[in-house]
Structure 1
Amino acid sequence: MSSASRNHQPATIAVTAGRPAREPDRPLNEPITMASTYVATGGVEYGRYGNPTWSAFEDVLGSLEGGRALAFSSGMAAVTTVLDLVGHDGLVVAPVHAYTGTLLQLADLESRGRVHTLLVDITDTDAVVAAAADAALVWLESPTNPALELADIATIAAAAREAGAYVVVDNTFATPILQRPLTMGADLVVHSVTKYLAGHSDVLMGAIVAGDEELYTVLKGRRDLMGSTPGTLEAWLALRGLRTLHLRVERAQANAAELVRRLEGHPAVAEVRYPGFGGIVAIVVAGGADTADLLTRSTSLWVHATSLGGVESTFERRRRWKAEPATIPDGLVRLSVGIEDVDDLWDDLRAALDDLG
């Protein structure tokens, strides 16, 4: 973590960390360094081991989360690298409701006899703590994707670490602007940088933030060996996105809270799920899957898309994916609220809901 950032608020860190030295004629922003090969005997040696543009991004994210960050080629590359910490036959405790890619990766590892997986209701803290007693790794999402359940991170982390398990939190939904899991006892934080951190629906990238130097060194060694490194342009775009993360999160959260207030009274909405913070909302549409699908085809501002965390508002019915858990209602639509004018967003969404009859 940058020493200049330790005592600053997240908004200041997002803007000031990861900058070049303040010297005459130096640029304010870290340039894109397109290099696969470096002159020998330095600190990098080869393009798979490091890049100044990655390092600038990592400095900002590490400072925001309170640890040391590593950039990866995708969120799934980061997830895979973390799960690789689990020894053969080790137990991974994870939420029943979580990012589909994570659940699919765990299912694949279990089908090959690599790990054992125990899926739990992340809101049942006592049950999670009990399961953690035999775990090698406890994977948390809070809020969960797409059910928006909350975990007691601090209590679970304390119990899991006492049992000798790693604690990992996917912080993609909350971002370090709203939640810093390392300060709650987690060992590692994972991000799909594609989402809020980059924030403009134009980057595929992931990241891990380690709470201590030993874990950082192990994970960097895995990244160096597997080659799951980001492109330089992607890292530069993600760094640029981080500069406005706090503003985008604040606006998306304000929009989300207002939309929740208005949605709760609409007759076409059977249930509204919102954890009380962040820009992700889930609604269960009365009428089930067909009606929910119709909603996603009936708007002009809201975009039907599977990703989230961009400046534009997107939504989708999650059970359209076969791998989504059966415990997610057929009519659940996940809304990623963007930074547009909230009245425009509501007018567009309300008109579509009204038409459902």
Structure 2
Amino acid sequence: MSETPAFHVDTILVSAGRPAHVPGGPVNPPVVLSSTYIPDAAVNYARVGNPTWDAFEAAIGELEGGRALVHASGMGAIAAALALVPPGGTIVAPDTTYNGTVLLLEDFEKAGGTVRRRHATDTEGFVADLAGADLVWLESPTNPLMDVMDLPAVLDAARSQGVLSVVDNTLPTPLGCRPLSLGADVVVHSATKYIAGHSDVLLGVTVVASDERGSELGTRLHRHRTLHGAIAGPMEVYLGLRGLRTLGVRYERACASAAELAARLEGHPALERVRYPGSGAMLSIDVAGDADAAERVCAATRVWLHSTSLGGVESQLERRRRQPAEPATVPPNLVRLSVGIEHVEDLWTDLDRALRTVL
């Protein structure tokens, strides 16, 4: 029997998670709207599993090279991953990361745990902090500072010291990075963002390796999801899978536009700094002046949407410190840009005009 060919990622995006090819069969998985099932099978209640989830999880698992588990939101996935740490344990994390993660780490400390925080680019510091830790939380590029971490170095050190490693892969997506192949134990996504891609659903995903260690972690994550009830609705998961089909073309267009915009923004008289990690569809800018100047820029755009998310087909921007949970390490005049799939010239004209309102 010949082996299944290794497909390119663009083909996997379109083909993974499809129903079996049978005469008269559907090309898309059905939306299963049932809270309970006939007994004597692997799943008998919808909090445990759903065939619509299976299709989505199969597609994400194939993309990341592991076994995926869908959650009700990105925060649901993050909470499940952090729950792998025992009470009173120790977590190593960047000093600036997604603010939902920041809040959960603060709660972990209030409950008696320890969090060792390092600047994302301090690789030696991260490795040193791993001694005696239970888990290291990684994010590259970081949100919203766009700092790039040395994932291979930290993951290798974590594995050699027996420290559990989790990588939030929301910003680079599986197209930009596959952390399991670098040695990560768990990958987390806010599938609300690039994976679903249309700003219309809340979804999260955790992914573990397809080996014995991954199986044990996957069982624990599944138990957390089941008992804590952070499950996704089948319609949301169906929409997430439908959005995933176009991730390749959406992400390619957005990344190309982000690179072009980053190049044009360098040296702009209305900016103090451009934070672009060198790839991907995200960048941040430090507007010359104070927080009010940054807010004026956000309020002046017509094509860019002033909203608090990222990864959609529409371009979005926001002054991040307007969010109460945003770390103080984020400058008050920083504006995060999520580049969508509009024409790059329209994006540039709109953004440049908005920036010039503060000159």
Question: TM over 0.5: same fold?
Answer: yes
CA distance in 2 between counterparts of 1:83 and 1:352 reads: 40
1:277 is matched with: 279
Alignment partner for residue 244 of structure 1, among 240, 243, 246?
246
Secondary structure at the counterpart of residue 22 of structure 1: coil
Alignment partner for residue 132 of structure 2, among 115, 129, 134?
134
CA distance in 1 between counterparts of 2:87 and 2:107 reads: 14
Aligned residues: 354
| 2:42 partner letter | G
Alignment partner for residue 336 of structure 2, among 334, 337, 355?
334
TM-superposed CA distance for 1:5, in Å, is 7.4
Alignment partner for residue 214 of structure 1, among 208, 213, 216?
216
Which deviates further from its counterpart, 223-232 or 252-261?
Answer: 223-232
CA distance in 2 between counterparts of 1:158 and 1:5 reads: 31
Change (3 A) 1:104 1:5: farther
Deviations 1:246-297 (A, max 9, x none): 1111010000000011111310011101111111010000012110000000
TM-superposed CA distance for 1:6, in Å, is 7.0
Q: Is the 8 A contact 1:171 1:189 kept in 2?
A: yes
| Correspondences of 1:77-92 after superposition (within 5 Å) | 77-92=76-91
Alignment partner for residue 318 of structure 2, among 316, 319, 341?
316
| Correspondences of 1:286-301 after superposition (within 5 Å) | 286-301=288-303
Deviations 1:304-324 (A, max 9, x none): 101000000000001112221
| 1:207 partner letter | V
| 2:161 partner letter | A
Asked whether 1:118 is paired with 2:116, we answer yes
Deviations 1:183-214 (A, max 9, x none): 00100100001110000000011110011222
Secondary structure at the counterpart of residue 274 of structure 2: strand
1:50 is matched with: 49
Q: TM-score, with normalisation over the residues of structure 1? A: 0.97
1:13 is matched with: 12
Structure 1 segments (4+ residues) deviating >4 Å:
3-6
CA distance in 2 between counterparts of 1:296 and 1:270 reads: 16
Supply the RMSD in Å over aligned alpha carbons: 1.3
Q: TM-score, with normalisation over the residues of structure 2? A: 0.96
Change (3 A) 1:291 1:20: same
Q: Is the 8 A contact 2:9 2:63 kept in 1?
A: yes
| 1:101 partner letter | G
CA distance in 1 between counterparts of 2:349 and 2:330 reads: 27
Secondary structure at the counterpart of residue 300 of structure 2: coil
Change (3 A) 1:66 1:4: farther
In the alignment, structure 2 segments of 5+ residues that lack a partner are none
2:229 is matched with: 227
CA distance in 2 between counterparts of 1:355 and 1:60 reads: 45
1:167 is matched with: 165
Change (3 A) 1:19 1:4: farther
| 2:202 partner letter | L
| Correspondences of 1:257-268 after superposition (within 5 Å) | 257-268=259-270
CA distance in 2 between counterparts of 1:45 and 1:5 reads: 32
TM-superposed CA distance for 1:119, in Å, is 1.0
Deviations 1:15-67 (A, max 9, x none): 00000000011110001110111111112111111111111000010000000
